[in-house]
Structure 1
Amino acid sequence: MDKTVKLVGFKAFDGMKKMYPDYNFPYFNCSYNALLTLGEYYQKNTLSILCNPISIYRIDSTDKFKYEVTEFNKKEELLEELGIKTNSQPIMIDALREQITSCILDGNPIRIKIDLFYQNGREFYFGKKHGLHPVLVHGYDPSRDNIYIVDDISEYTEYCVPFTEFLEYFTENEAITDNSITQYVLKHSHSSNINEKVIQNFVSNLLLLESELFDSISNILQLADIYPFALKHEDLIETLSSTIYRKCSERYRLLKLLNLNNDSNSIKNSIIKKMDQVLDDWLLLRALSIKAIYTRNYGKKLIDNSRIILHRISKLEREYHILFYSLIHNFNFNFSAEQEFYH
């Protein structure tokens, strides 16, 4: 086989880029980007994927702040409901090219987990720390020995990588226990109208989490208290960046859901405005923090300004949640807009 094999029509999920043209933010995390990419490739209704993750503000036992992603259902269950099955086989390094080519010829994309420690271009990981990460493979060019992947090295898009470089992403990492190829196979092509069921489940889950979500906002105030110490933590900028793109993900889903909601536009506009104010403040805090870290200036003025921003974020988050929960207690959806979630 000396011809390039590549899945026709396979492309990275770009919904976030349509909302933020300057950068294709991940949807909550790299795993959900992959799920949405697969769902769109197989022309499935992706609403169940969009509504599965939720983020909660946490402070762990070491006083480390994070905007943690949790999920209502296992990712494998989401794919099974969409008729997408997974077949796994052990990676055989000497025959990996043939394994990949065989899957692609069958019309099936592949997931392979790599170690970000070895992937050049990873600002927070390369040569610094280990981290498992799923890469979608959708083509191979034997004449140039290049592999086609969908990944988020700089932004979520397609990359053409020398195969020898790709091997370095995972073969040296003893921490990778799932040393396998996962092949995604379409088992049935019919798509039922699932919006109503998905939204009902989403609303039910959010109502169960209502107290926890409101209580978690107090962790933003705790971050304000410990901010002088947080500023000196090496992961702070990464944490703030992930918080920002997870808020962007919430905004993306919010707009999708509000498009199905028949309630007053004034309520919708107020909710979006609060969300945007929260985002603007997280962006401002990150900018101040980057400046402080690079100039090594941790003076009182910067700390006071950072704490003012965090207190404002906490207030805005509470106001946003009050508005949002007032809406979801009486969701009024137009399910004739089903097609919206297929593209």
Structure 2
Amino acid sequence: MQVTPLIWIITIAVTILFFVYEFFAHVRKPHEPSIGESARWSAFYIGLALVFGVGIGTVSGWTYGGEYFAGYLTEKALSVDNLFVFLIVMTGFAVPKKYQQKVLMVGIIIALILRGGFIAIGATLIENFSWVFYIFGALLLFLAYKQAFGGHDANPADGKFMQLVRRVLPVTPDYHRDRLTVQQDGKRFVTPMLLTIIAIGFVDLVFAVDSIPAIYGLTSEAYIVFTANAFALMGLRQLFFLIGGLLERLVYLAQGLAVILAFIGVKLLFHALHVNELPFINGGQPLLWVPEIPIWLSLLFIGATILVATVASLAKTRGGLGGGGAAHGEVTQEDADSTAGTPR
């Protein structure tokens, strides 16, 4: 796949412009987005991602088009899982709902920056060290196990990292609108809003470790890796408010993602054996009899796994979470007043 420096520059510039527009058009003025607003923008970004994938398939061939769609599906599923943890963090810090857009936007931008860095590192490693596929494959198998059995029980807002941050930074007990720092009695304090953003950034770092090896298991093209990640993150803010309580109903999402990560991990290990250069494995010669999993099978498997996990989750939770309590991601004013800045 031939991608010139000019195409890279244009792609990155357009991506930045989209997020700048998002900030000034939707996030700069705190408000709670309506279902209609969230639905329109979610449909727009998903449609844009699909059109882009068709464009890659048309211009560069459908092998690359299939790699893009498989990567996009995987990254979108991982991003939804990311949203679930964002929900836990914002609930833990009792972020008022009208400020959640800003937290989400900052979190998404941090995620894109971190993933961009990991993409560059991953591309360099793959180009120079074919044995890195063994490491990526083993890492994905380990992450698959953690995803399947680790769950989301731990609250990142009250983890050891955030406890250390609180010991270092003086924190106000209450929110001061969406400000990150305030001055009181001649001393500068950080607000719970800044703590929330720090926690979100830490979560993004952890998820970048998941997502980049996973998509490099589907394609070695850095351009496809970047664009699939960028499109997966675009519209994530609107999706958070659109799907509402559906996030809490996706009880099998972690297991579905574990299956996908394990599948890609095995695919990477097969590929590593197929291009093997390690002297202690088969005398440094490739094991050409090891099968390579084709991209069409990867795409079919990932799509089917996401579908099965979603349908099974909705079937299991049908009628189980209806009624009562605040909606998904919603922190009541009473909660915010009583627990602002203090993890539950």
Q: TM-score, normalised by structure 1?
A: 0.30
Higher strand share: 1
Larger helix proportion of the pair: 2
Structure with higher RCO (Cα < 8 A, 6+ apart) = 2
TM-score (norm 2): 0.30
